[in-house]
Structure 1
């Protein structure tokens, strides 16, 4: 298991993993995560691992933390909301999915387009209580998730765990249901 490997490799790996785990709660850019780990290691006067090592560590931790966020968000949806969201992905014969329709940008600022856009926003709000779904998810994470490409989405694991054995989560930074 990776946690055993990190424990064997010593305090440098543990310090880097803990720094990345803490930073990934609010950041998502791999370069930012690596810089946080480097800063912590330099301040502690520890040997610096190779860039590819930190890059892989940041990638694994970021993926697991993001999947934890996804699992929490999905768990906050009821069956009707979940079915409604999945329905957006159905593509009728010869048409486009409702998801594609929702992504359309606003048109030129005219009164009639404003009314169309307000109706569009009403349809978005009818999908479900997104404020509840995203409760305690940091705004930077929400922004990043909103900008992710849909072809890279994978369903969250049913029981999220972190093999990096990070320090205990503080209540202010953790995501809970």
Structure 2
């Protein structure tokens, strides 16, 4: 028996358009996100996904996930800025107050208000950005993959899991 978590988009090779057509958000974005949704279509918009929440749990951190460090995000931001000096960074996170404090010099906007039943809205919003800096998270991957046809700069951590 093979047991595990094996995220890969290789299973959708050749059917990406079909998957994208069938993976649609069922509801319109909450009204509070309409202006932001339009802003994110600008080619300078960069989604930055920071996952902390459950990754802060020592069991998860030790067994499966290494949390992306501030150094990873800062190096990624520097990389984007070198190639796109007018980039505008939009932070999406389950810990917005930490993002605001840690990246006060960078974050033009920390997106908030899409918790609980509206948590899907962050993925929909991130998928509108031309470029992204993602966490080691399938949520990040899907948001990016759903907008892959838009090109842009896409950065992810070298490893999604600790040894394993």
TM-score normalised according to structure 2 size: 0.29
Question: Larger relative contact order (C-alpha < 8 A, sep ≥ 6)?
Answer: 1
TM-score normalised according to structure 1 size: 0.27
In terms of Rg, which structure is larger?
A: 1
